[in-house]
Amino acid sequence: MSNSVSGSTSAFAIYRRLLTYVGPHRWHLAAAVLAMAVYASCSTAFAALMKPMLDGSFVNRDTSAITFVPLMIIVIFICRGASGFFSIYLMSLIGWSVVKRIRQQLFDKYLDLPTAQFDRSSSGEMISRVTFNVQNIATVAADSLTILVRDTLTIFGLLCLMLYHSWKLSLGILVLGPLVALIIHFVSGRFRRLSRGIQDSMGQVASVIEEAVEGQRLVKVFGGRDYEREQFDLVNERNRNLNLKETMTRAASAPVVQFLVAVALAIIVYLASSGTLVGEITVGVFMSFITAMMMLFAPLKQLTMVNAKIQAGIAAGENVFAILDSESERDTGEHVLESDTVELKLHDVSFSYLPDKLVLKQLSFKVAAGETVALVGGSGSGKSTIANLLPRLYDIKEGSITLNGQDTREYTLDSLRRHISYVGQDVTLFNDTVLANIAYGQMRGTSLEKVKAACRIAHANDFIEKLSEGYYTVVGENGVMLSGGQRQRLAIARAILKDAPLLVLDEATSALDTESERKVQQGLAELMRGRTTVVIAHRLSTIENADRIVVMDEGQIVEMGTHQQLLQANGYYSFLQGRGDQATELPVQQSGLSAQQPT
């Protein structure tokens, strides 16, 4: 059965889809249902035992009944306990298997989602979806299904016993069915709405916590404690209110159902004792009937209460399936890029993150194989956007980006990205060893000697050897145990080890002090040798030796040439050089140097 469902599907369709995850465990489910049937039969048997106990033991003083009834009570509760244990364990096994499978599918989907999806969602919400929402789904797959099957079978068995004893007295209970169904239908919609709100609020709580923890230095230095407390109090209070509303709805629905059952019980007791049915039933039959009816209370309450869990699971399923059904990164290319050198060309490239707001406007330039081209310009001019477009983290709207004459959209994503190395200002390191962070991804399994060789080129080996465990030192979350310059050198070593022919450097030294920058620049010089390189520069002094410099403003190329050519043109680049850094919002000064790609 397909695990595909549209966003407008009914609650039943979502619940049915959730149950498809139980399919691979059908034998465990069958065994669990059998155990639940035994459990339900034990409840019915205990109620039925009231007749021989009263009529045989107390009224007729039957010696066989006096011996039989106590033994049967022991047997019934042994069977009930054993079947209850096995049904709970097997359903728990199924439930956690479903959680594992959905979490794995969701995590795999996260790895395949387009970058734009991450731009639209907070990391707290995405984490909450994997943890909290999937946990709610487990209640549907295990707890709720257990209650539905076991308690439904129990109610069915008890009703059959009651009908067997007296169909007339049973009519009062049967009339309650439609009323109970109406109550459950009424509260189901409210439960589902509240559950959606609770799941959203949990995502907001996780998001605020994550921001406060990750930005704790900024919070302390800028006195943001009060503001963060206020933000957390808002989302925390909303979560509390929604949970209280759900609790109130759940707590109110169960007593209403129980009250209706109590009314039916009162009517039955009155009819049975008023004389109308006295001649038709014995004391034992009446007591067995009343016991069965009283035993209906617990499963009826459970079925009423389980509705809240089911609706929470359905709301969680909607949220999770919306991501699972969303479009993954487009990987429609059929060509495999296999080359030790690459030539890069951008032709009339236009791109926007938001509709009707172009970030790049008909951009064209070429980087020959082994050539270094630097991109300079003010903040927001589109430099880093180009770095995102080269490995197809986003797809362009117009124009083309080619490698060796082939549009990058015609290459498979894996082969395209294998040929690109990236070193940025914000280095990503995982809470793992130095070795694992350098030999990452497709480079896993690389020998320690090769990793050390890359680190020597990156001028990183010396400080790594001085760490407590050397290459096996855990660097902490995002490399918190290392300095900025050390993190950058690890990123350079990772790029050297990858040995890709196209290198993208996105302001790789802008946040470093002079000494760290000197060491990192030495590593970068080794890394750039013989590679097609695109350098996005913050400090103009770092790109003076580039083969060509592309000057950008507001998504367009305004100047292009060598360092000396641009200085002689006395245009925008010359103005920036005079400032010693890049301006963010300056008028473009016209120069005599063409912004078109030289032929």
Residues 458-478 pLDDT 10s: 888 989 999 999 999 998 877
In terms of Cα–Cα distance, which of 19, 206, 163 is closest to 102? Answer: 19
Query: Which CATH number belongs to the domain containing residue 384 in this structure?
Result: 3.40.50.300
Is 396 a member of any domain? yes
**Residue 536, strand partner residues:** 375, 506
| Residue pLDDT, tens place only, 576-588 | 777 654 433 333 3
Same domain, 433 and 310: no
Same domain, 495 and 558: no
What are 526's two structure tokens?
Answer: 């080794």
State mean pLDDT over 281-297: 79
Q: What is the pLDDT of residue 119?
A: 83
- Among 562, 597, 1, 5, smallest CA distance to 314 is for 5
Q: Is residue 582 part of a domain?
A: yes
Location of structure tokens 């039989």:
68
pLDDT level of residue 449 (50, 70, 90 thresholds): very high
Query: In what helix (H) or strand (E) does residue 100 lie, and over which residues does it extend?
Result: helix 63-112
Q: Is residue 329 part of a domain?
A: no
Among 499, 527, 561, give the residue marking a domain's end. Answer: 499
What is the DSSP annotation of 189-235? HHHHHHHHHHHHHHHHHHHHHHHHHHTHHHHHHTT-HHHHHHHHHHH
DSSP-assigned states of every residue in 259-327: HHHHHHHHHHHHHHHSSSSTTT--HHHHHHHHHHHHHTHHHHHHHHHHHHHHHHHHHHHHHHHHHHTS-
Residue 149: which of 269, 250, 19, 236 has the closest Cα? 19
Model pLDDT for residues 98-112, shown as the tens digit of each residue = 888 988 898 888 888
pLDDT at position 458 is 84
SS3 content of the chain, % helix, strand, coil (to 5): 65, 10, 25
Band of residue 1 on the pLDDT scale cut at 50, 70, 90: very low
491 and 565 housed in the same domain: no
**Are 345 and 310 found together in one domain?**
no
- Whether residue 284 is found in the same domain as residue 232: yes
Stated as kind and residue range, the H or E segment containing 464 is: helix 461-465
Name the average pLDDT for the chain: 80
Other C-beta atoms closer than 10 Å to the C-beta of 598 total 9
Q: Is residue 156 part of a domain?
A: yes
Which tops the pLDDT comparison, 190 or 226?
226
Average pLDDT of span 428-443: 88
Would you say residue 171 has pLDDT above 90? no
**What average pLDDT score do residues 22-30 get?**
89
Is it the case that residue 2 has pLDDT exceeding 50?
A: no
C-alpha distance across the termini of the chain, in Å: 58
Residue of 551 and 221 predicted with greater confidence: 551
Give the pairing of strands 532-536 and 502-506: parallel
- Give the residue among 539, 566, 564 at the shortest CA–CA distance from 550: 566
pLDDT digits 0-9 by tens, 151-169: 889 888 888 888 887 777 7
Residue 9 clears pLDDT 70, i.e. is over it: no
Are residues 94 and 190 located together in one domain of the fold? yes
Q: Tell me which of 280, 304, 324 is where a domain ends.
A: 324
Pick from 526, 529, 497: which is nearest to 371 by CA? 529
Q: Within this chain, do residues 289 and 379 fall inside the same structural domain, yes or no?
A: no
Q: Which domain holds residue 233?
A: 11-324
Q: Which of 473, 499, 525 is the last residue of a domain?
A: 499
Print the SS3 string covering 57-74: HHHCCCHHHHHHHHHHHH
**pLDDT tens digit sequence for 388-420:** 999 998 988 899 999 999 999 999 989 999 999
**Same domain for 535 and 457?**
no
Confidence (pLDDT) at 37: 93
pLDDT at residue 588, rounded to an integer: 37
Lowest mean pLDDT segment, chosen from 34-38, 148-152, 424-428, 502-506: 424-428
Same domain for 481 and 515: no
pLDDT for 411: 92
Residue 5 lies in a domain: no
Q: Are 104 and 75 in the same domain?
A: yes
- Rounded to an integer, the average pLDDT of 351-380 is 88
361: enclosing H helix or E strand: strand 357-367
* Torsion on CA atoms 521, 524, 525, 528, rounded to nearest 10: -160
CA gyration radius, the chain: 35
Q: Tokens representing 446?
A: 């690389």
Q: Sorting pLDDT into bands at 50, 70 and 90, what band is 423? A: confident
Are 233 and 289 found together in one domain? yes
Do both 585 and 446 map to the same domain? no
Concatenated DSSP letters of 486-520: HHHHHHHHHHHHHT-SEEEEESTTTT--HHHHHHH
Domain-located, residue 169: yes
The CATH number that applies at residue 125 is 1.20.1560.10
Per the CB < 8 A criterion, the answer to whether 528 and 372 are in contact is yes
* Count of structural domains within the chain: 3
Establish if 458 belongs to a structural domain.
Answer: yes
